[in-house]
Amino acid sequence: MEEWGIEGGEEGKSRYSCVGGELWRTTKTDKRDYIEKLADETEKAARKNDLKTLYKVNKQLNNGFKNSDVPVKDVNGNVVEGEAAKLQRWREHFESVLNRPDPPQLADIQPAAIDLDICTDPPSLEEVTAIKTMKRGKAPGADGITAEMLKADLANFYSPFQDNTMV
């Protein structure tokens, strides 16, 4: 108590108790204000359809908690208890999924009627620059390709195609 400037004795103990109560109240008030601020931020993001902010605030409120103990069920739908039993059940599951017999009849896939005109030329410097300026964390396009996918190992992927051009 003396390290906080509070003398010993009965008066010091009562002052210490009073300061502790005040600290508890201010901490509780600060936490309430913080959560209200996050709630306001969430409401604004919801009005703007800003899912990135919504997920970020949700993760903050849940402290990044992820329940890793997902119940595993057996073939009859009963919950399996114990780590060894769960591992055995996963083994059974993957053996049944991955060890399937060959299909009785092979698929009859016809060759394409027309050849598509696909450009296989190396990308231009403008295309590479456009990929570099794309923002991360955005929704993928109609083809399902995100900016992160295009940017992954960009220099090593495009440099062999460029004629000694710095990428």
Residue with the two structure tokens 């009562």: 14
Mean pLDDT by runs of 10 across the 167 residues of the chain is: 59 76 89 90 90 86 75 92 92 92 89 86 84 83 83 64 50
What is the pLDDT, as a whole number, of residue 135? Answer: 85
Residue 148 lies in a domain: yes
Number of Cβ atoms within 10 Å of the Cβ of 39: 12
Total of domains in the chain: 3
Domain check: are 132 and 96 in the same one? no
pLDDT at position 167 is 44
**Distance in angstroms (rounded) separating the CA atoms of residues 102 and 42:** 52
Q: Containing domain of residue 43, as a range?
A: 12-63
48 and 75, same structural domain?
no
pTM of the model: 0.35
